[in-house]
Chain A
Amino acid sequence: MTAPPTGAPAPGDDPEERDPGFARERTSLAWTRTALSFAALGGVMLKVNVLTGLIILAVAPVVWQAGRIARGRSPVAGLPVVGAARLFLIAISIVAVSLLCLAVAIFGSSVPGALR
């Protein structure tokens, strides 16, 4: 890697050329982990309150899909159009989810001895 990424996409098959530092790949994986985190929270919530758990579980595929949007684009080809909207979606989702959890934590009846 001598030349920094410039406008034209590299024709070569070197993955390092197409995706310098595997930045795109790693970012894609980070999106996957984030979606899984939502799913994990939804799974815990299922144990506490089924309806709320299903709502949170439904967020996971949305996040997954939001992460896939950038996947097809090569950084060398020009583009991180980093969607501020996608990241904003994540932030808002977490706030909404934590408000749900707060409501369940305060008003929901606890599961006695669920962890023993």
Chain B
Amino acid sequence: MGERPTEPCGRAGESFHLALPARRLPKAKGRTGNGSMSWSKRMAELLPGSITRDSGGTEPDPRFTFANERTFLAWSRTALALVVAGLGIVQLLPPFPRVPAGRHLLGIPLIVLGAVLAVAAYVEWGRSQRALRRGEPLPHSILPWILAATVTAIAVIAAAVVLVSALR
């Protein structure tokens, strides 16, 4: 464990630091390390201001860093597209007959999902970058799960709204 604090990170002048919690030296065998962190401290370490604290490891291949950045940007565009879709449903679509709240029922979850995805993508980017620096396997991403689950739920609601407004 002694190598981490003393090892300079990357070449001179290319200080990349992560906005995520630095690896803590294992004090105990269990996973008490993460759990004992206070909520506010964990939030503070998500801020880019905490990039002055190093997360260990060495600078990865630039291609990996760029690819990670592109992945984040792609998720951001997905989030924006969801917000556009939600806004369009609520504001631009004519109302569903017999389902007055139908547009809000469909659009508002989409907008909220956009905001959630944006934050989750940032957290995910930090985790991946940290893993890249340390040569660890990339962490399991929950973003596709969030997206698939929410879109499925909204699709079911949409089918119900369309059915109710068409029948009878």
Q: Chain A: residues with CB nearer than 8 A to chain B?
A: 4-5, 7, 20-21, 23-24, 26-27, 30-31, 33-34, 37-38, 40-41, 44-45, 47-48, 75-76, 78-85, 87-88, 90-91, 94-95, 97-99, 101-102, 104-106, 108, 110-116
Contacts and interface: CB of A to CB of B under 8 A. Distances in A.
Contact of B88 (A24, A112, A115): A115
Contacts of A115: 88, 92-94
B26 interface: no
* Smallest CB-CB A-B distances: 6 pairs: A75-B62, A94-B118, A23-B66, A91-B122, A85-B48, A105-B90
A88 B83 contact: no
A112 B90 CA distance: 10
Interface of B: 11, 13-19, 47-48, 51, 59, 61-63, 65-70, 72-74, 76-77, 79-81, 83-84, 86-88, 90-95, 103-104, 107-108, 111-112, 114-115, 118-119, 121-122, 125-126, 129
B87 A37 contact: no
Contacts of A23: 62-63, 66-67
B119 A44 contact: no
30 contacts: A7-B11, A24-B66, A26-B66, A30-B74, A41-B80, A48-B92, A75-B63, A78-B14, A79-B14, A79-B62, A80-B14, A80-B65, A80-B69, A82-B68, A84-B48, A84-B126, A87-B125, A90-B122, A94-B83, A98-B79, A98-B83, A101-B87, A102-B111, A104-B87, A105-B107, A108-B91, A110-B91, A112-B94, A114-B92, A116-B94
